[in-house]
Amino acid sequence: MVNDYRSCSECAEYRKPALRKFDRNLCHNCADKTHSHSHCWICRQDDLPIELHHLAGKKHAHRTVPICLNCHAMLSRRQYQWPDLWRCEPCVAFLFVGFMDYCALYTDPTMPLEVLSEKSQQMAKDTIWTAIDAVIFLVKLMPLAIVLILGLKMARASVQN
């Protein structure tokens, strides 16, 4: 049976960003002869060529994760879909965006780039709304905490007198 889509002749990798442009029959992992081999934190496979991926891009933060060349190609391609601000102004907030991309790909390392983009954006929205809900909860909790603290101080003062 012949695939109706391009894939690596050695490992059957089919995600477009993971396939080399010039050597159409190999993915980045299978074609590589220079990188050291180790465990990929995303696809969780051993003995793959590893690169350090800057979660927010080199310009924004120095946090890196060791991942295989194919997963690195996916996450790097995803960074080019980020807002244009990413390319010019240093902003640590992109560490959050990069971490969402990493988490989305980690949940399913075989997902195509289009699905990764959608899933990552949804995870970011969900996380932001959860954070907003947490802040609202804390704001509502503040008066109760203040009353408790004042009550404890008053009780302590009355015991001392």
Question: What domain count does the chain have?
Answer: 1
Of 146, 98, 93, nearest to 123 by C-alpha is 98
Is 156 among the domain residues?
no
Query: The dihedral of CA 93, 120, 41, 112: what is its sign?
Result: negative
DSSP three-state, residue 65 = strand
Instruction: Say which residues have a Cβ less than 8 Å from residue 66's Cβ, sequence separation at least 6.
Output: 38, 39, 40, 41, 50, 51, 52, 53
**pTM summary value:** 0.70
Would 150 be classed as within a structural domain? no
Show pLDDT as tens, one digit a residue, over the chain (161 residues).
Answer: 445 667 888 898 888 888 888 776 899 999 999 999 999 999 999 999 999 999 888 777 788 899 999 999 999 998 888 877 666 666 777 888 888 888 888 888 888 888 888 888 888 788 878 888 888 888 888 888 888 888 888 888 888 87
In a domain, 7, yes or no: no
Residue 158 lies in a domain: no
Within a domain: 112: yes
